[in-house]
């Protein structure tokens, strides 16, 4: 199963530090190709659509969305949970894999962390937007108010506010700290004065002294250490938005681990969706190798199975509880009720797709990976739709049962966040080295040492 590094390297060839650096920095110096410009234009247009719809919603009222009673939460919260979930892969890769000393993380962690940040930015829009009175969103945070009332911290929503804020801040610090040495490199090798000033400011005057490196590594280790429980806690708390409620289909203790697994699942899917075209476009196949993709696929398989387990337990408990509302929810409402096709799509995408990755050949087939990753992203969105909308459609009192249909605004906002996300991501690709240069040099050095060690006795 696990090929030796030699047979299946995580860094192809033995580039000199100079070559490596030039290759990795080239993405920031070079012109974005035509493809990049087209993508940027599309992303820009969708972003405008997003902010247009936001303005329309805030000006007219949340009623322009399809929400109703009983389905008082719909696309807004679905998108929120989906984007937050995607935002989990980055921290997982850079923190947990760092602690586990998984070298292969080096080539993709910067990339994944950026993805995390941008995804969390999208997610962060929705807790505000879905409010009836968004302009009072700050009431969820504690501040000495003349109204003399503070947030109600027994509710899961202030927990959310705390978790999302923390997660964004920590991810940003972690990402930026990792960037500092590379920013210094950019500063020292920038072709133009304007860039030198820009990167110079961002580099905070990094000189790479041994002392600095010592504290730097300590700080990086601590951030990695705390980001690991954080990444688990964030989606657990998000899941409690539902788990503390008594809606059939929400009130479930499996939710925290189930949500975390789903989050990492969708996160890695998104990593693949992004990394596959990028490595091709910027000719980095020697740095981000098939080995990396294969390892992501393995993680998809694992988390996919965890998610499948989650579904199974949900169904078992629904049956075992004997609660007729729960049973109806899972055995009638979801599979046959309104919007049931989403439920079946969810099963197909989330359960069947990852089974492909039992086969090494398919794991290493880039096309298959790309399509599969997109299917899984769709599947995870569908999962949130099922959990949120379908649960609310079929609650305790049949008299209150009602279906749900999104409006064009709902759809536009979803598309818009995809555009906004891509916009940020495309900008990042051109502005910063999306593979950690310093770490790659370090990795290269370590690999060189090992090769020497291998050859030594021979």
* Residues 116-145 interacting with another protein (rule: CB under 8 A): 130-134, 136-137, 139-140, 142
Among 170, 414, 424, 435, binds another protein (CB under 8 A): 170
* Residues 306-335 interacting with another protein (rule: CB under 8 A): 324-325, 328
**Distance from chain centroid for Cα 185:** 28
CA gap 188, 195 in Å, rounded: 10
* Residues 331-390 interacting with another protein (rule: CB under 8 A): none
* Residues 61-120 interacting with another protein (rule: CB under 8 A): 61-63, 66-73
In whole angstroms, the minimum distance from the beta carbon of 439 to another protein comes to 7
177 touches another protein by CB under 8 A: yes
CA gap 43, 424 in Å, rounded: 9
Nearer to another protein, 354 or 406 (CB): 406
The vertex-440 CA angle with 214 and 226, nearest 5°, equals 50
396 CB neighbour count, 10 Å cutoff: 16
Q: How many residues bind another protein (CB under 8 A)?
A: 105
* Residues 241-280 interacting with another protein (rule: CB under 8 A): 241, 244-247
The DSSP letter of residue 7 is T
Q: HSE of 439 in the Cβ direction (CA atoms, 13 Å)?
A: 24
* Exposed/middle/buried for residue 355 (C-beta within 10 Å: 0-12, 13-18, 19+): middle
Nearer to another protein, 143 or 358 (CB): 143
Distance between first and last Cα of the chain? 26
* Residues 184-203 interacting with another protein (rule: CB under 8 A): 184-185, 187-189, 200-201
Nearer to another protein, 6 or 149 (CB): 149
* Residues 148-167 interacting with another protein (rule: CB under 8 A): 148-159, 161-163, 165-166
Answer yes or no: are the C-beta atoms of 342 and 386 closer than 8 Å.
yes
x/- string (CB under 8 A) for another protein, residues 11-50? Answer: -----xxx--x-----------------------------
Kindly report the length of the chain: 458
CA gap 61, 38 in Å, rounded: 34
Among 14, 169, 285, 411, binds another protein (CB under 8 A): 169
Nearer to another protein, 21 or 273 (CB): 21
Among 87, 90, 124, 181, binds another protein (CB under 8 A): 181
In whole angstroms, the minimum distance from the beta carbon of 160 to another protein comes to 8
Q: 339 in the Ramachandran plot: left (φ > 0), alpha (ψ -120 to 50) or beta?
A: left
**Distance from chain centroid for Cα 56:** 28
Among 1, 146, 147, 453, binds another protein (CB under 8 A): 147
Q: Which stretch binds another protein (CB under 8 A): 10-18, 84-92, 366-374, 409-417?
A: 10-18
* Residues 407-446 interacting with another protein (rule: CB under 8 A): 438-439, 441-442, 445
In whole angstroms, the minimum distance from the beta carbon of 135 to another protein comes to 9
Answer yes or no: are the C-beta atoms of 253 and 243 closer than 8 Å.
yes
* Exposed/middle/buried for residue 337 (C-beta within 10 Å: 0-12, 13-18, 19+): middle
Answer yes or no: are the C-beta atoms of 421 and 118 closer than 8 Å.
yes
CA gap 303, 328 in Å, rounded: 28
Among 33, 35, 229, 277, binds another protein (CB under 8 A): 229
């Amino acid at each position: 199963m696990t090929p030796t590094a030699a047979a299946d390297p995580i860094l192809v060839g033995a580039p000199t530090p100079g070559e490596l650096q030039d290759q990795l920095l080239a993405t920031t110096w070079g012109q974005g190709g035509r493809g990049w410009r087209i993508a940027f234009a599309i992303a820009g247009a969708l972003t405008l659509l997003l902010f247009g719809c936001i303005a329309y919603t805030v000006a007219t009222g949340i009623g322009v969305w399809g929400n109703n009673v009983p389905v008082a939460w719909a696309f807004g919260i679905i998108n929120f949970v989906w984007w937050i979930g995607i935002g989990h892969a980055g921290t997982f890769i850079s923190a947990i894999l760092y602690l586990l000393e998984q070298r292969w993380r080096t080539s993709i962690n910067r990339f994944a962390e950026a993805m995390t940040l941008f995804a969390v930015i999208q997610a962060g829009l929705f807790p505000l937007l879905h409010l009836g009175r968004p302009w009072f969103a700050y009431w969820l945070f504690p501040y000495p108010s003349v109204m003399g009332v503070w947030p109600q911290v027994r509710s899961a929503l202030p927990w959310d506010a705390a978790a999302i804020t923390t997660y964004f801040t920590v991810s940003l610090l972690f990402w930026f700290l990792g960037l500092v040495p590379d920013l210094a490199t950019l500063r020292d090798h920038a072709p133009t004065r304007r860039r030198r000033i820009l990167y110079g400011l961002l580099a905070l005057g990094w000189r790479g002294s041994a002392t600095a490196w010592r504290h730097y590594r300590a700080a990086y280790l601590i951030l990695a250490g705390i980001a690991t429980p954080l990444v688990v806690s964030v989606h657990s708390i998000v899941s409690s938005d539902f788990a503390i409620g008594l809606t059939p289909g929400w009130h479930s203790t499996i939710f925290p681990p189930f949500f975390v697994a789903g989050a990492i699942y969708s996160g890695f899917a998104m990593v693949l969706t992004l990394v596959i075209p990028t490595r091709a476009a910027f000719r980095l196949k020697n740095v981000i190798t098939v080995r990396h993709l294969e390892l992501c696929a393995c993680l998809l398989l694992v988390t996919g199975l965890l998610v499948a387990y989650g579904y199974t337990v949900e169904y078992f408990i629904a049956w075992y509880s004997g609660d007729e509302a729960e049973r109806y929810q899972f055995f009638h409402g979801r599979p046959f009720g309104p919007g049931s096709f989403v439920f079946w799509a969810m099963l197909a995408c989330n359960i069947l797709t990852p089974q492909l990755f039992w086969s090494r050949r398919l794991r290493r087939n880039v096309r298959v990976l790309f399509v599969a990753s997109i299917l899984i992203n769709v599947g995870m969105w569908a999962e949130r739709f099922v959990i949120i909308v379908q649960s609310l459609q079929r609650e305790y009192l049949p008299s209150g049962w009602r279906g749900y249909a999104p409006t064009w605004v709902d759809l536009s906002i979803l598309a818009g966040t995809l555009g906004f996300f891509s916009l940020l991501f495309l900008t990042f690709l051109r502005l910063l080295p999306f593979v950690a240069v310093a770490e790659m040099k370090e990795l290269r050095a370590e690999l060189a040492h090992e090769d020497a060690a291998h050859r030594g006795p021979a």
